[in-house]
Structure 1
C-alpha cells in the first residue's frame, strides 16, 4: 500500500506534499487568548495564498477539537488556494476549555478521535494533545491515552504540545512505553522553548520527530537558539527527524496583518537553513521529513526505528 497523508480534501500520496509548514493554525480560539482569535476565513485564505507564493504547498493545522477548527472554512481555503491542509483532531490542556472536560468526557475521547480520523465529513489527519509543565497531569494522561488508542486504530500520528518545551521524555515514556506507540508516530512540538540539547538528543534517540515551531511567538525567545539546536541534532545523526513550523496563534502574527506568519518559514528560515547546512538538509526538514512524520501508518505497525539518518 502506498503511503498517504490525510488532508481535508482527501488522502494524497505522502511524496506529493511538497514543502510543508509542519505546525500552524488557520483558525484558533481559546479563553487564554481573549480578543486574539483566528476566526476570519478571508484572512486565513490570504495567509495560505502568501504561503503558496513563497513556495509552500502543505500546512499541518494543529488546532484540536473545541478550539475553533472551522472545518468547512479550512476546506474552502484549501480548495481556493490549492494548498494541502492536514487537520488535527485531539484535545489541548484543560485551561483552553470553558468549562474544562470532565474525566468521563476525557475517557470517551478515543472513539471521538477515531471517528474524526475515519468517518467525519471532513477527516482529520493527526491527533493533537498536550503535556503539562515539566510533567503530565491527569488531564494529559487521559487525553494521551485516548490519542494512543486512536493511533492504534487508525495509524495516525500524534502531535504533542510540550508546555514551554518541557517533559518530552515523560511524554515518550507514556506514549511509547506504557501505551505502546511507535516513537516514529510521535511529533514533539515546541522543543525549542526549552533549549536543553541533552534532553533533545535523548528524545531524538527514540526515533520521535522533533518540531521546532516558534517564529510567530514574540513572547518566546526561540529564534536565536534555533540554529544551534538544529546543528547539534543534525550532527548527532537526527537530521531525518527535524520539522519546522510557524505556530501562528494570533491575528497579529499573520503575515497578512504585519507579522511573520507562514511565509516567514520559506522567505527567511529556509534560505538560512540552506546557507548554513546545505540544500540536502533543508529538503529533509521541509519536504522529506514531514512526508514521513504525518503519513497514515498501517495500524499496529512501526515503520522503521530511530529514523535519524
Structure 2
C-alpha cells in the first residue's frame, strides 16, 4: 500500500464530519431503525419512538450514537438526519452487509468488487453518508459470505479510511476475523471494532483481540435473558487490569421494538447512562468510564477520510 496523505481525524456523522474530539458521550453500538426477516413483528421502524428514545438518551447526557444497521436492513438514513438535527445527538450510520440469513438471495449474490463500490458510495458520495462499514462473522468461524463481505469491506477501507465494525456471532471467532481483516487483508487493527464480546466471556480470547489492537465492544444489555449483564463487570475489570482499558467500548444494541425504553419493555439505550454508567464508575473508577464512553469511541470511529477514488 502506498502511504496516504495525512488528514485530520474526523468522525463522519449523518450531518457531516466532526472533529473526533467533539463526539462526546457515546453509545458505541445501537440501532434506531432495523428490520430483518429473522425478527418478524419486532421491526424498529417507528420514527416517533426513535425520537423519544434518542431525546431521553440526550437528557441523560448522551451526545453520540453509532447505528450499526447495514444495507438492506432498514437504515432509514433520512430519518437519522432529522433525529440528529432535532435532538442534537451525533448519529453515525453504517454501510456494509450482515449475515446472509438477513437477506433475500438476490441481495447477497454480488461480487466483491461491486460490494466494495456500494460501500464506498455510501461512505463518500451518498446524500447521507455512512461513517463505518458493518460486516459479520459466523459462529466460531467465517463462511463464504463473511469472507466475501469482509474482503469488500477491506477494499472499501483502503480506499476511504473507514472503520470496520464486526458482528461476532455469540461473541465468537474474534481471532479468525482479525486474521482475515488485519492479516490477509491488511486493515490496521485500530480500525476494527469487534462487537458482542460479552456474549462469550472468554477472557483469554478478549485479551488476544485487545492485544492485537482491535477495539472491543460490549454491547448486549438490551437482550432479555442474556448473560452479558452479570458477566460484564468481570470482563471489563479483567481487561482494564491487563492494561487494555483504552480498547473498550459500550453499546446498547437495541434490536427489537420490545427492547426500547420508549414504548417497549426496555431497557434500551437509556440503560447505558441511567444504570450501567454509575455502577461501572463506582466499581471501576471515573477515569476508565471517561475512556470507555468518550475517549475510546472518539478514536475507534475516527478516520483520515479519503475520497474513495
> TM-score by structure 1 length?
0.95
Number of the residue aligned with 1:276: 283
Number of the residue aligned with 2:3: none
Number of the residue aligned with 1:209: 215
Residue 108 of structure 1 and its aligned partner are, at CA, apart by: 1.4
Give, in whole Å, the separation in 2 of the partners of 1:173 and 1:23: 23
Residue 2 of structure 1 and its aligned partner are, at CA, apart by: 2.8
Moved more, 1-10 or 188-197: 1-10
1:94 aligns with 2:100: yes
Number of the residue aligned with 1:70: 76
- 8 Å Cα contact 1:25/1:61 also seen in 2: yes
Residue 39 of structure 1 and its aligned partner are, at CA, apart by: 0.3
User: Paired residue for 1:53, among 59, 77, 90?
Assistant: 59
3-state SS of the aligned residue for 1:145?
helix
Structure 2: gaps of 5 or more residues: 1-6
Number of the residue aligned with 1:237: 243
Q: Which runs of 4+ in 1 moved over 4 A?
A: none
Residue 277 of structure 1 and its aligned partner are, at CA, apart by: 1.2
Number of the residue aligned with 1:34: 40
Give, in whole Å, the separation in 2 of the partners of 1:14 and 1:293: 9
User: Paired residue for 2:296, among 258, 281, 289?
Assistant: 289
CA RMSD of aligned residues (A): 1.1
Structure 1 residues 230-275: Cα deviation after superposition (integer angstroms, max 9, x where no partner): 0110011100000000000011111112301111100111101110
Give, in whole Å, the separation in 1 of the partners of 2:169 and 2:113: 22
User: Paired residue for 2:185, among 179, 189, 201?
Assistant: 179
> TM-score by structure 2 length?
0.95
Number of the residue aligned with 1:223: 229
Give, in whole Å, the separation in 2 of the partners of 1:90 and 1:243: 20
- 8 Å Cα contact 2:112/2:151 also seen in 1: no
Structure 1 residues 107-150: Cα deviation after superposition (integer angstroms, max 9, x where no partner): 41000000100000000000000000010000000000010111
Residues 57-136 of structure 1: matches in 2 within 5 Å? 57-99=63-105, 101-136=107-142
Number of the residue aligned with 1:304: none
Number of the residue aligned with 1:307: none
1:24 aligns with 2:34: no
Residue 102 of structure 1 and its aligned partner are, at CA, apart by: 4.4
- 8 Å Cα contact 1:233/1:239 also seen in 2: yes
Give, in whole Å, the separation in 2 of the partners of 1:261 and 1:208: 26
Give, in whole Å, the separation in 1 of the partners of 2:168 and 2:106: 19
